[in-house]
Amino acid sequence: MSINVYTGRDKSNGLVFMGANLERTPGVPMAVPMPIPAITADSPDQFHGKLRLPRFAMPTHYELHFHPDLVSSTFSGVVSINVFVLAPTRFLVLNVVELTIDHASIHFKHLEPTDVVFFKDDQIMVLGFRKGLPLGEGVLSMHFNGTLSDEMRGFHRGKYHYKGEMAYMAFTVFEPVNARRCFPCCDEPDFKATFKLTLEVQSDLVALSNMPVLGEIVDGSIKVVHFEESPLMSTYLVAMVVGIFEFIEGVTSQGTKVRVYTEVGKSKQGQFALDVGVKSLDLYDDYFETPYALPKLDMIGIPDFPVALENFGLVTIGEGGLLLDETSTTSTKQQEIAVNVAHELAHQWCGNLVTMEWWNDIWLSERFATWMSHEAVDSFFPQWNIWLKFLVGTVETLRLDSMNGSHPIEVEIHHTNEIDGIFDELVYVKGASILHMLQSFLGAKRFQKALASYVKKYAYSNAKTEDLWIVIEEETGEPLKDLMTPWTKEPGYPVINVKHEGEHIQLEQAQFDLDGSSRSSLWDVPITLRCSSSTEKFILKHKHDKVDFYCKRQKDGNIWIKLNINETGFYRVKYDKEITATLPYALEASEFSSMEKIGILDNALVLSMSYEHRLASLLHIVYACREEADYNVLPHICDITTSVSQITFDATPNLAGDIKQLLIKILLSPTLKLGWDPKDGEGDLLVRLRETLLVALVKLGHDQTINEGVKRFHILKCDHNSSILSPHSRKAAYLSMMKKASSLDRSSYDDLRQFYKDLGDGVEKRRILGVLSSCSDMDIVLESLNLIFTNEVPNQHALDVLNGITIEAREIAWSWLKENWDRILKVVPKKDLWPSIVDDIVPLFNSNDKGVKSEPMLEKTVHELLHKL
């Protein structure tokens, strides 16, 4: 190892800095330090209030020895850190939270610190030495103790079952900034180092870590397990798990061992995840043109674990996201597991091998894994049409990103406490959607080659968003850095206004805001465009543009034009009146793919909600889908009927009944085809669609559906084992009972309440709680809401009652919330209550009456469409 010393000036703060380039030993990856300010002040206080650790010293290797005690819920440890001092200083600064450090044990190059100062808010420990530390490498060591957490962070103690009894396990939850709760470290992603771990545990327990076991020493009831040294990685990827487990094993084509660990007796349930895991590693090896970096990959199912963590070589996933019960044949569950596994294993390259430099670029890791997991699952199971599920997430994120409270994908962070909050849909789904848009525009092969180059260039290192765009630009020759920067640094996205003028298409972009407000961001937009006779793609670089695009008229004289082929672009499209008028004809003629139908429907709905489109146009488009047989599209039609019904409740109360009848007639045909009873061999998609359609018709007030639901409920009430209502048709029956309930005739309500009390199935009880406040009688609604203050409703299920509030009950529900706020908070934690209010109650007040009331032709349109049906 050689050192090149240099000096310069840091433009950000004007300090003189010194630094060093550490040259790589051939074949051994090394972290590359950045230029670092020299620290000249002489007090530990200089490090207080800083977001990041100083860079005058770099950890290169950790030796860690842990002894967890699962009974007392404590652990002790010893850490030795190889630290390379790059600039003159007498201080070393580490991240430490909630650990007890043995001050007498702290040594660096046989030097003892004269100062050991903790800044709790900054989560750091500052070690001050009597004199300046010599440049070069030395070993910092210390002993420490901690408590096994019960808060899903740091070193956590969890519960599981072994031989019919409750037992304890321990596992780490370090991402994003919780390794510091387990051992003193430089707990930032660009402080990459190698790690060598040792675990001292009871001899009957299994000890797992990132690397394979190097050796074990058993001494009576204790065994010491030594693990191999890891490659360079960030602290948040270090992992340990201790407990009693069993496993199943597979091997990739390159010889990498893949295991799925479970509670004893559940290993067979991990077979599907194991198969997907083996396939994923093989696919990613080829896709990124870089072999998996570790000799093994373990996945373990953790009971009651709400997340999944991509720890290098030891992925921890909640049991529900990893294990497939042998009795379950639903493709929905298989899809969930496949996407989970493929996501976490994609991280082994994107996140673990190549890591974001700082957490503001977390999207670099999460968007890759989200997009890549769908690419992988589509390759393994093309019959699932997994990109349709991806599109559903994109549609939801488009709505989220069109609100004033949205934020850029690259989020500025001011304190480490803010980092947990940036793991949201915008990071995961918008980021992945932008990649999907880019792949579609560049072509799959060019995109793959560029990503492979990116991974190879930054392997065992760190990258920023700009680094990705530069590599793709170099590989493809496209000016992507300037093109893509607004997509990650600005909130929101554009709506493209399209006008047909003879042999030209006139385009204009503007930022789309769901509330109708105006912002002035500008994007370079990858446009894909097609009609019945031609296809085109180009980049819209300006606010306005005119494109030569000839489209032949069809036999009926119509010309249809579709922007955003297969909805791969992250933008909305607003057509002029001429094109909008032709869309229903093209829909009826089946000119569009399932994805395009979903995009057209969602665009029409959201543009109507934001006053950009007439509700009459939306109704024409929905009417054109009245014979729709695509089971992927029908759920979106159901969603639109619910939204339209809600909009017209405020805007046109005199027309609301006719609009409901129109929507009922549109949904009735597919509902009658499916019926109430499941068929043998029916896929999961149909099972869920039946529930969606029946519930939609009950909500719209379809008498025949409501009467059938009531009849079937009474049969079930008399015989709980009856097959008259399948699990997925029961919600419609429960809602039917609430449609009949009133203060004058409580029988339906009382029967449903009694049925709830008699049930033992927790899932079914929650289904009933979710409809008890769905009533047009306000006294019944209040009675149901007040149930959360009784023993009849467990505290953890109280939110289910709030979820069922309808638009008719919004005013009384809002008054009830205000009057009972303190009582409610004793039942429901505020962190859970606020999202429920925002998601379930506030939208009931968001009417579009201003836009709808200004439509003079709406009544005529409704009556014309009703007459046609």
* Per-residue model confidence (pLDDT) at position 609: 83
What local confidence, expressed as pLDDT, does residue 328 receive?
64
In this predicted structure, the answer to whether residue 23 has a pLDDT above a threshold of 50 is: no
Strands (E), 440-596: 461-463, 494-501, 504-511, 525-531, 535-540, 544-548, 561-563, 572-575
**pLDDT of 3:** 28
Binning the chain into helix, strand and coil, the percentages to the nearest 5 are 45, 25, 35
| Residues 595, 530: Cα–Cα separation, whole Å | 14
842: left (phi over 0), alpha (psi -120 to 50) or beta: alpha
Q: How many CA atoms lie within 13 A of 563 on its CB side?
A: 30
**pLDDT 10s digits, 136-148:** 999 999 999 999 9
Which tens digit of pLDDT belongs to each residue from 559-615? 789 999 999 999 999 999 989 999 999 999 899 999 999 999 999 999 988 878 888
pTM: 0.87
Categorize the per-residue pLDDT at 19 as very low, low, confident or very high, splitting at 50, 70 and 90: very low
**Is pLDDT of 243 > 70?**
yes
Residue among 344, 410, 478, 567 flagged as catalytic: 344
Q: Are strands 16-22 and 3-9 parallel, antiparallel or unpaired?
A: antiparallel
How many other CB atoms are found less than 10 A from the CB of residue 217? 11
Between the alpha carbon of residue 178 and those of residues 175, 181, 555, the distances in Å are: 6, 5, 65
Query: pLDDT at position 208, please?
Result: 98
3 state SS for 582-612 = HHHHHHHCCCCCHHHHHHHHHHHHHHHHCCC
Specify the higher pLDDT residue, 855 or 286. Answer: 286
In degrees, rounded to 5, the angle at the alpha carbon of residue 751 between the alpha carbons of residues 745 and 753 is: 110
CA atoms within 13 A on the CB side of 592: 30
**Residue 677 CA neighbour count, 13 Å, CB half:** 6
- What pairs with residue 108 in β-bridges? 111, 140
Neighbours of 459 (CB within 10 A): 16
Average pLDDT over residues 476-499: 92
Q: What is the mean pLDDT of residues 436-440?
A: 95
Beta carbons within 8 Å of 455's beta carbon, 6+ residues apart: 288, 289, 290, 349, 350, 353, 354
**Cβ atoms 462, 192 nearer than 8 A:** yes
* Residue 441 reports pLDDT greater than 70: yes
Please identify which residue in the block is written with the tokens 């180092």: 193
Let me know if 344 is a catalytic residue: yes
Per residue, the 3-state secondary structure of 370-386, as one string, reads: HHHHHHHHHHHCHHHCH
Mean pLDDT of 377-406: 92
Listing DSSP states for 138-204 in one string gives: EEEEEEEEEE-BSSSSEEEEEEEEETTEEEEEEEEE-TTTTGGGTS-B--STT--BEEEEEEEEETT
Amino acid 569 reads: G
Asked if 620 and 865 count as a contact pair (C-beta separation under 8 A), the reply is yes
pLDDT of 149 > 80? The answer is: yes
pLDDT value for 299: 98
Question: Which residue from 452, 354, 440, 362 is spatially nearest to 407, judged by alpha carbons?
Answer: 362
Q: Which of 624, 517, 536, 538 is nearest to 581 (CA)?
A: 624
Rounded Cα distance, 327 and 277, in Å: 21
In the predicted structure, residue 770 carries a pLDDT above the cut 90:
yes
Longest distance between any two alpha carbons in the chain, whole Å: 92
- The mean per-residue pLDDT over the stretch 495-499 comes to 95
Token output for 830: 């505020």
Cross-sheet strand order for the sheet of 206-209: 154-162, 165-173, 240-243, 206-209
The pLDDT value recorded for residue 847 is 53
E strand intervals along 310-432: 314-318, 354-356
Ranges 29-43, 206-220, 361-375, 732-746: which has the least confidence = 29-43
pLDDT of residue 856: 62
- Helical H runs in 422-464? 425, 431-442, 444-458
Nearest to 622 by CA among 866, 387, 396: 866
E strand spans, 292-361: 296-302, 308-309, 314-318, 354-356
**Cα dihedral 301, 305, 306, 311 sign:** negative
Integer distance in angstroms from the first to the last C-alpha of the chain? 81
Residue with the two structure tokens 């049969």? 715
Average pLDDT score over residue span 544-566: 82
Residue 863: count other Cβ atoms within 10 Å of its Cβ.
Answer: 13
pLDDT of residue 652: 79
| CA distance linking residue 787 with residue 748, whole number of Å | 17
Contacts of 505 (CB under 8 A, 6+ apart): 498, 499, 529, 546, 547, 549, 561
Q: Which one has a higher pLDDT value, 845 or 239?
A: 239
Amino acid 614: pLDDT: 85
Residue 315 in this model has a pLDDT that exceeds 90: yes
Mean pLDDT of all residues in 814-831: 87
pLDDT of residue 329: 60
d(CA 322, CA 336): 9
Average pLDDT over residues 332-348: 96
**Bridge partners of 215?**
226
| For residue 345, pLDDT beyond 80 | yes
The CA–CA distances, whole Å, from 811 to 734, 802, 817 equal 23, 13, 10
DSSP track, 97-150: -S-EEEEEEEEETTB--SEEEEETTTTEEEEE-SSPPPSEEEEEEEEEEEE-BS
Q: What is the mean pLDDT of the chain?
A: 89
Does 73 have pLDDT greater than 50?
yes
* 3-state DSSP assignment of residue 78: strand
Q: For residue 101, what are the β-bridge partners?
A: 144
For residues 13 and 549, the model is more confident at 549
Task: Report pLDDT for 763.
Answer: 83
Amino acid, single-letter form, for residue 501: E
Asked, as a colleague might, if the bond just before 176 is cis with ω within 30 of 0, I would say yes
**pLDDT tens digit string along 158-176?**
999 898 899 999 999 999 9
**R_g of the chain computed on alpha carbons:** 30
**pLDDT(701) > 80:** yes
Question: Pick from 846, 836, 835, 831: which is nearest to 800 by CA?
Answer: 836
Do 603 and 571 contact (CB within 8 A), yes or no?
no
pLDDT of residue 516: 62
- Per-residue pLDDT averaged across 117-143, rounded? 96
pLDDT at 719: 92
Determine the Cα–Cα distance for residues 599 and 394; give it in Å rounded to an integer: 10
pLDDT recorded at residue 13? 30
What value does the mean pLDDT take over residues 289-305? 96
Which residue type, as a one-letter code, is found at position 286?
D
